């Protein structure tokens, strides 16, 4: 039992030192892999101690846990990115709705549109010149 405790303690200490040494914050994928590795090593050590091979159990369980935790973390990271993108679209649509509502209120009250710059200001508001009659040459007769 003392041997299991020392292996688990050493594994946790190694993980903490490795995590503290990272310059950038861990991504969800990395957190999942780290948690899975620790959990797999601990579970492998416990199962291995029942058969008398604690170190072998931890050595097998650690990488399996790391792989499984990394895959789960990757799926969570993909979901976070999709949610972030969706939230950005929602925010854009909210701003557009707010702009359109204020435009509707302005039109209801009969106010003039605020001046816009660029091509949007001239499109649809400029009067077109009257078409000119083509010279046929018969007008001189």
Instruction: Quote the domain boundaries for residue 48.
Output: 2-79
Within a domain: residue 30? Answer: yes
**In which band, very low, low, confident or very high, does the pLDDT at 91 lie, cut at 50, 70 and 90?**
very high
Domain count, the chain: 1
Q: At 64, list the tokens.
A: 């399996």
User: Does the residue 136 lie in any domain?
Assistant: no
What's the confidence (pLDDT) of residue 47?
86
**DSSP character at residue 126:** S
In this structure, is residue 85 part of a structural domain?
A: no
Could you report the per-residue pLDDT of 121-132, keeping only the tens digit for each? Answer: 455 455 556 556
| Per-residue pLDDT, 66 | 87
Q: pLDDT, tens digit, for every residue of 29-81?
A: 888 888 888 888 888 888 888 888 888 888 888 888 888 888 888 999 999 99
For residue 39, tell me if it sits in a domain: yes
Residue 102 pLDDT grade (very low, low, confident, very high; cuts 50, 70, 90): very high
Taking the C-alpha atoms of residue 104 and residue 43, their distance in angstroms, rounded to an integer, is 64
59, part of any domain: yes
The token pair at 93 is: 């649509």
Sign of CA dihedral 110, 116, 122, 123: negative
Tell me, yes or no, whether 117 lies in a domain.
Answer: no
Q: Are 57 and 91 in contact (CB under 8 A)?
A: no
Q: Using a cut of 0.85, tell me whether the model's pTM lies above it.
A: no
What pLDDT sits at residue 57?
A: 85
- Please report whether residue 88 resides in a domain: no
């Amino acid at each position: 039992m003392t041997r299991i405790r020392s292996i688990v303690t050493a594994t946790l200490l190694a993980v903490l030192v490795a995590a503290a040494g990272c310059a950038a914050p861990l991504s969800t994928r990395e957190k999942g892999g780290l948690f899975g590795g620790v959990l797999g090593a601990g579970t492998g050590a416990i199962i291995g101690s029942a058969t008398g091979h604690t170190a072998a159990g931890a050595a097998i369980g650690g990488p399996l846990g790391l792989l499984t935790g990394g895959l789960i973390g990757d799926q969570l990271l993909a979901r976070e990115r999709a949610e972030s993108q969706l939230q950005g679209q929602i925010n854009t649509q909210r701003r557009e709705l707010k702009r359109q509502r204020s435009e509707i209120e302005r039109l209801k009250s009969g106010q003039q549109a605020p001046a816009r710059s660029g091509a949007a200001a001239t499109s649809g508001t400029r009067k077109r010149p009257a078409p000119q009659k083509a010279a046929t040459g018969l007008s001189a007769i």
